Amino acid sequence: MKKSVFTLLLTSAFAAVLALSLAGCGHQHSWEDATCDTPKTCSECGETEGEALGHEVSIGKCSRCGTYIAQNDWNQAMSKVNSASSDFTNVLTQVNNMLKISGLTQSDRARYVDQYAQLMNQYEPGYLRDAKSICEKHVELAGATNAIEEAINLVPAGIDSYDQAGLEQFSDEIKAYQAALLNVLTELEAFAPAKGQS
């Protein structure tokens, strides 16, 4: 009889432990709301329920939690666009300095300008394509992606004729490309991290 009482008590204890383990931790949960990064969580036992809410953006500042999302992507895209802008500025400086040289014929000037245009055409689209591939990952950067595509299409290819008309045509192309680059920078700046953020 002692053996059957002992077995009954052991079985009852096992059943109670099993019931508690199946029923959770056995206390009244004190739930903290889900956040962007964590699901609804009990502040006492750490049990979770549901899923994290997720950020409201794929890049930029999340309006729910205030965190800047995908800052590295933004930094890389800006770096590529800034490289394109810097190279463009250097080419313009070289062209302006060359145009100031006295004794060059109109044809010589146009040939030199065309050489710089060829150099610019060799590098500018690569920087911009890299920036575009980064921006395409984020729906919020659709405006920047479109602006970059427009800028790529406006990179001056060179001078069609080595005369005054060719130089003027190239000057117009430079102005259009410069405006397109400024538009790209404006679109990207809309998602700039706050000062002090990295």
Q: What SS3 state is found at 101?
A: coil
Q: What is the mean pLDDT of residues 108-133?
A: 88
Q: What SS3 state is found at 176?
A: helix
At 24 the pLDDT is 55
- Within 10 A of 79 (CB to CB), how many other CB atoms are there? 14
The amino acid occupying position 9 is L
Q: Which domains does the chain have, with CATH numbers?
A: 29-69 (no CATH), 71-189 (1.20.120)
| Range from 4-18, 42-56, 87-101 carrying the lowest mean pLDDT | 4-18
Name, in order, each residue with C-beta under 8 angstroms of 127's C-beta and a sequence gap of 6 or more: 80, 81, 83, 84, 87
**Structural contact between residues 145 and 77, judged by C-beta atoms closer than 8 angstroms:** no
pTM of the model: 0.72
The amino acid occupying position 47 is E
Q: What is the mean pLDDT of residues 138-155?
A: 94
Q: Residues 75-95: pLDDT tens digits?
A: 999 999 999 999 888 888 888
- Within 10 A of 128 (CB to CB), how many other CB atoms are there? 25
Specify which residues 49 forms β-bridges with: 40
